[in-house]
């Protein structure tokens, strides 16, 4: 089973890398399908309930519709290239492809399926769907000029995700809306520069992995369960909070550097409305990121803490073995992010 899992992970990575380096629309479409099949196989390998299979089927249907729209659009572009006169409007084809990629990533107005499916995924699959599965669609968007559909989607997605995330108590839903907000940043970055999008994605993956891995080990699902962190190592808590604040884009963390570089690119391209909208949405998302950090810092009564500990007492000692290793992992990734922050600041000043 482990060997089969490794094969599917290898296919997942290779399909993304081949799609990024390819110049053929048909190969990109094939890699999209291989990527989809690999991810579905990774999800189905562990034991699943009937309810989870229903969500998986919904995910498959949505991705199939998106891929079919993309295939029809590139076929029309191919017909235009091989005929002396344009049968189909090229701008319309670009908008069709952009809409297909927006559907695939779960941005507004096609975000409802994304929220529903992400709320029922295990944490590590949640991480994959939030980050790696969006690289190919973002790469495809980078091949086209900016259009009104992309601008509208980025503005509305960033605002809706930040507003809806403010009153959530479920951690998966909070980070789902956070993912939609971060994808809005990466979408507009990809329309400006593919390298800027890859830099932002790399930073986002590094920061998010520390947080998601922590939640996965402790099997956390709600904000009130973060009270249990009062019983853990203070160094580990510190690294977790630093990464959450970095994800929020507070200076002087790494997340702030990726956002400030994006803002400089947006202002350079005179996209002032999108810049101001993304800044406002980031300030609103900061509210629910701070909720996560404050929750564990607040001193609570011993009675409540004991009641919460009874829920997780069975797995507590087993988890502590992994938490010791997690200290080193979070320390390493946080240190790397600070080194990159210092280097990028020096290069910017230079």
CA–CA separation, 238 vs 224, rounded Å? 18
Q: Does 178 or 87 have the greater pLDDT score?
A: 178
CA–CA separation, 178 vs 168, rounded Å? 11
The mean predicted confidence, pLDDT, of the chain is 80
3-state SS assignment for residue 213: helix
DSSP code per residue over 125-185:
HHHHHHTGGGHHHHHHHHTS---HHHHHHHHHHHHHHHHHGGG--BHHHHHHHHHHHHHHH
What pLDDT is attached to residue 185? 92
Residue 4 banded pLDDT, cuts 50, 70, 90: confident
DSSP code per residue over 52-105:
HHHHHHHHHHHHHHHHHHHHHHHHHHHHHHTSSS-SS-HHHHHHHHHHHHHHHH
What pLDDT is attached to residue 184? 92
306 pLDDT exceeds 60? no
What pLDDT is attached to residue 244? 84
Q: For the chain, what is the largest distance between any 2 Cα atoms, rounded to a whole number of angstroms?
A: 78
3-state SS assignment for residue 156: helix
What pLDDT is attached to residue 322? 47
Q: Where are the domains of the chain?
A: 1-311, 314-349
Q: What is the mean pLDDT of residues 232-258?
A: 78
User: What does each C-alpha distance from 57 to 40, 44, 64, 331 come to in angstroms?
Assistant: 10, 11, 10, 38
Q: Can you give the C-alpha Rg of the chain in angstroms?
A: 21
325 pLDDT exceeds 80? no
Q: What is the DSSP letter of 107?
A: -
Q: What is the DSSP letter of 1?
A: -
Run of H or E residues at 338: helix 302-349
pLDDT over 70 for what percent of the chain? 79
CA–CA separation, 248 vs 182, rounded Å? 10
Run of H or E residues at 336: helix 302-349
What pLDDT is attached to residue 350? 47
Instruction: With 0.75 as the threshold, say if the pTM is over it.
Output: yes
∠ CA 246-251-254, rounded to 5°? 45
The 10s digit of each residue's pLDDT in 103-123 is 999 888 888 889 888 888 888
Pick from 28-37, 65-74, 88-97, 122-131: least confident: 88-97
Q: Does 146 or 16 have the greater pLDDT score?
A: 16
CA–CA separation, 77 vs 28, rounded Å? 14
């Amino acid at each position: 089973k482990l060997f089969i899992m490794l094969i599917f992970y290898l296919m997942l990575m290779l399909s993304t890398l081949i799609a990024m380096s390819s110049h053929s629309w048909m190969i990109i479409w094939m890699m999209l399908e291989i990527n989809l099949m690999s991810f579905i196989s990774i999800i189905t390998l562990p034991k699943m309930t009937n309810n989870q299979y229903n969500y998986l089927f919904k995910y498959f249907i949505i991705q199939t519709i998106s891929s079919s729209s993309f295939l029809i659009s590139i076929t029309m572009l191919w017909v235009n290239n091989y005929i002396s006169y344009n049968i189909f409007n090229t701008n319309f084809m670009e908008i069709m492809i952009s809409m297909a990629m927006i559907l695939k990533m779960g941005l507004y107005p096609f975000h409802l399926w994304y929220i529903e499916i992400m709320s029922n995924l295990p944490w590590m699959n949640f991480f994959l769907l939030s980050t790696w599965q969006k690289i190919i669609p973002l790469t495809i968007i980078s091949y086209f000029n900016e259009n009104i559909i992309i601008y509208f989607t980025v503005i509305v997605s960033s605002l809706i995700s930040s507003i809806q995330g403010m009153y959530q108590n479920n951690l998966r839903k909070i980070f789902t809306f956070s993912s939609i907000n971060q994808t809005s940043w990466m979408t507009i970055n990809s329309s400006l520069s593919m390298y800027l999008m890859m830099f932002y994605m790399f930073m986002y993956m590094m920061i998010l992995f520390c947080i998601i891995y922590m939640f996965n080990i402790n099997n956390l699902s709600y904000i009130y369960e973060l009270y249990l962190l009062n019983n853990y190592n203070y160094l580990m808590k510190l690294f977790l909070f630093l990464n959450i604040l970095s994800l929020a884009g507070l200076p002087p963390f790494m997340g702030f550097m990726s956002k400030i570089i994006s803002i400089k690119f947006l202002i350079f391209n005179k996209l002032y409305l999108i810049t101001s909208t993304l800044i406002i949405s980031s300030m609103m998302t900061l509210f629910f990121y701070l909720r996560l950090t404050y929750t564990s810092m607040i001193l609570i009564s011993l009675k409540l803490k004991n009641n919460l500990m009874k829920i997780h007492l069975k797995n507590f000692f087993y988890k502590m073995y992994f938490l010791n290793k997690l200290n080193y992992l979070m320390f390493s990734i946080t240190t790397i992010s600070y080194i990159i922050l210092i280097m990028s600041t020096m290069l910017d000043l230079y």
